[in-house]
Structure 1
Amino acid sequence: MKLHDLSKFDPSIKLVKNSEWPEEILAISSLDALTSGGMIFIKNAKFLQKLVPVIDQAVTLKVGAVVDEKFFNLVNAELKAELDKLPWIATSNQVPMSLTLLSKPFYDQKMKGVNTQVDGRQMGTTDIHPSAHIAQNVFIGENVKIGANVEIMPGSVILSFTEIGDDTRIFPNVTIYPFTKIGKSCRIHASSVIGSDGFGYTFHQGQHVKIWHMGGVIIHDNVEIGSNSSVDMGTFSPTIIGAGTRIDNFVQVAHNCKIGKGCVLCGHVGLAGSVTLEDYVVLGGKAGVGPDAHIGMGTQIAGAAMVNEGVTVPAGSKLGGHPAKDLREWMKGVAYLRMMSLKETK
């Protein structure tokens, strides 16, 4: 997409700086996974502070930015000098809505080659190792790569541009959306869904307007995912599950989550969007983590506990309750309340 085409999809976009006209924009990018020729969105100081450490990388990759108009006019000289390093800058008076509107043409562009109607084996575009075992009633999209000794059981759907590593087993009725990468020796159990759209909307003029997701999912080696679980694709960069992680039945992993290696997510755990779990985190059954929370390495979170939005949990913590706090402190509080309630009943 050409830079000057942005206003066709979002009239609020105004170009304020451009050193390389016309600029081809290849993708919408995220700050934690910059892509060549991409476009990022800066809503406020929080997002600008995340950009500053990677500004040189952004310049090298020719990444431009859409910045909130009011915020841009208030940015101090030092930070504006950092922004001015980018090859182009545009402003918008409604950045969340700009992101929403511009996500659709980029989604359409990426999904243009995704065939959901004719099996890729029939089209001659798949790369399937001769030792793979694929049951009857399995649909495989175009440009799918399947490694040695992979087993795919009946009723599963493997959509276009998916990659499945050696020795992985896909159990019955699993659905894998496009642009998913699954490592070696993984096990994905019946009726789980990998790569469905993230739950992202912008509320505008009385409607929830869809943010179009296209980031895909990356699952590293030796991961096991139980039945009826869902891993949503990232918005513009992948949702990631680290090597050796174990995910139980009925677990929800939302868009843009980054799960480290060796984590354990018990049944009915729910992760909201953009949650980070460092290595070896354990979440008990029905535990929940709010958007943008960061859980340190080796943390253990008790069943049904709730970590609130944006919280950073230090490595090695043990938490319980809602809002989640130190486990011993929470248990003492529960014991105290029980003791007081028993006194009142006497």
Structure 2
Amino acid sequence: MGVIRRYDMDWLRIFGILLLFPFHSARVFDHWDPFYVKNETLSWGLSWFISITNLWFMPLLFWLAGSASWYALKTKSSAFYIKERIQRLLIPLVTGVILIVPPQGYYAILDHTGEAPDSYFIFLKKFFTDFSDLSGYFGSFTPAHLWFILYLFVLSVAALPIFLILKSEQRRSSINNFLAQPFVYIMLFILLALSTALPAPGGQNPFYFFVLFVMGYISSSDLRFQQMLNRLRSKLLISIMILVPVWIFLARVYPHVDNFPAMAILLTLLRSFNVWVGLLVILGYGYKFLNFQHRLLPYLNEAAFPVYIIHQTALVIVGYYMIRLNLGVPLKYLLIMFSTLTVSLLIYEFIIKRTSITRLLFGVKIKKIISVLEDSKNKNLKS
């Protein structure tokens, strides 16, 4: 039996990548944390947009990556799976860290100090030897936004033994019979809450994302999970429409929870519940509205990953110059967002997709370029 294509998963992945443009553009204006470049005037509206959006969009990408692993291992061997992870994740990660990320540090120094480093090559030498702050917001070494690819590669390898165990229909059936009970499935948010107590290097908790990655795999392995989400999505939507504002209110009333251990536990549980249930709502309504084919889907599917790799560097460079314009925050924000999207798509279209080596370096399947070249050849022969 062939593998059924889940177009809703494709669309959700694409929308998740596209959401990075308004999200990271807002980082230029938010109050919460430093960033590579910062506007002089900040925005509380964009700050809260980041806080609320941050609940779901990276967890969704890890969930969808786990789902993709189910479909990959359904038809491929574990050896091929690892080989493909190396080609599609590890090689682009190395490429990105060496070529794409450093300009973010260069412009961070330029923005925060007002002075350019002696030269870009001298800066590179310092960049690759300074591990003092892995955020990289002030010019030190960092994987930057490519932490997602790093984690995804490590989690893919770490979760493989679990995935292979779950490939056994008998074992998978016994586990899924238990998890397919709505109460049990919703209560899995407790795993997310518990994982937040574990180490989070650079502020990103691998155990938290491991839970989401594995649950994405499990949830795609049995149709009953999606059927359950289809039944519950409306009720779950109502619950987060109530509880997300409650979480925001409590977080604002108790900004420093170290002195209130009970409130710290409550906020952690509430946030984890909102993340978990919010993902179930997204997946439930995604299946209802997005499970369709479209002629743009193959192109966007292929473009999404390389666009992810290059987008933040394009944003930092664009943002550095945009924030120096005599414009209001809303107009600067829109200019940064749409300019970054345009630049990222142009780089993909006219550079990355055009040669086998650039496709390899940025995680795009090389075989697809063959048909492009053949079409071009046929057109030349006809003319």
- TM bracket, shorter-chain basis: under 0.3
Greater fraction of residues in strand: 1
Greater fraction of residues in helix: 2
What TM-score, normalized by structure 2, do the two folds share?
0.22
**Larger RCO (CA within 8 A; separation ≥ 6):** 2
What TM-score, normalized by structure 1, do the two folds share?
0.23
